[in-house]
Chains A and B, each alone.
Chain A
Amino acid sequence: MSTPANGPVPAVAAATAPAAIPRSAQRDPGNSKLGTFGVKSGLAQMLKGGVIMDVINPEQARIAEEAGACAVMALERVPADIRREGGVSRMSDPAMIKSIVDAVTIPVMAKVRIGHFVEAQILQAIGIDYIDESEVLTPADEEHHINKHNYKVPFVCGARNLGEALRRISEGAAFIRTKGEAGTGNVVEAVRHQRSIMSEIRKASVMNEEELYAYAKEIQAPFHLLKETARLKRLPVVNFAAGGIATPGMCIR
Chain B
Amino acid sequence: MAHVQVSNNVTVGILALQGAFAEHQTALQKLSFQEKIAVVLVRTAEDLSVCDALIIPGGESTTIALLAKLAGLLEPLRTFLQKKPVWGTCAGAILLAQAVENTKKGGQELLGGISVTVVRNGWGSQVESFEAPLSTDGLRDPTTPFMGVFIRAPVVLALHPSTENPPIEIIARLPISLVPKSQKLMVHDEGDCGPHDSQSIVALRQGRHMLTTFHPELTKDIRFHEYFVRTCVLPTLV
Give the B-binding residues of A (Cβ under 8 A).
28-36, 38-40, 42-43, 45-50, 62, 65-71, 101, 103-107, 124, 127-130, 152-154
Contacts and interface: CB of A to CB of B under 8 A. Distances in A.
Contacts of A43: 126, 129, 151-152
Contacts of A28: 130, 178, 180
A33 B59 CA distance: 22
| Binding site secondary structure of chain B | loop
Q: Which 5 A-B residue pairs are closest in the complex by CB-CB distance?
A: A32-B132, A129-B126, A39-B129, A68-B66, A49-B18
A232 to B, nearest CB: 12
A46 B126 contact: no
Interface string B13-48: 000111111110000000000000000000000000
Given A65-B104, A124-B127, A153-B126, A42 B62 contact: no
Interface of B: 16-23, 58-60, 62-63, 66-67, 90-91, 102-105, 120-121, 124-133, 149-152, 174-175, 177-178, 180, 215, 218
Contacts of B59: 46-50, 70
Contacts of B23: 45
A45 B102 CA distance: 23
Contacts of B105: 62, 103
Contact of B124 (A40, A42, A65, A127): A127
Nearest to B176: A30
A65 B67 CA distance: 12
A66 B107 CA distance: 11
A101 B19 CA distance: 21
A39 B63 contact: no
Contacts of A127: 124-125, 127-128
A130 B126 contact: yes
A21 to B, nearest CB: 12
Given A38-B131, A39-B130, 18 more contacts: A28-B178, A32-B130, A32-B132, A32-B178, A39-B131, A39-B150, A40-B129, A42-B215, A46-B90, A48-B18, A49-B17, A50-B19, A68-B67, A70-B60, A103-B105, A106-B104, A127-B128, A129-B125
Contacts of B131: 32-33, 36, 38-39
Given A38-B149, A49-B19, A106-B60, A30 B91 contact: no
Contact of A48 (B20, B66, B150): B20
6 contacts: A28-B180, A34-B127, A34-B128, A71-B60, A106-B62, A127-B124
B173 to A, nearest CB: 13
Nearest to A109: B126
A129 B152 contact: yes
B58 A46 contact: yes
B19 A48 contact: yes
Given A39-B149, A49-B17, A50-B60, A105 B104 contact: yes
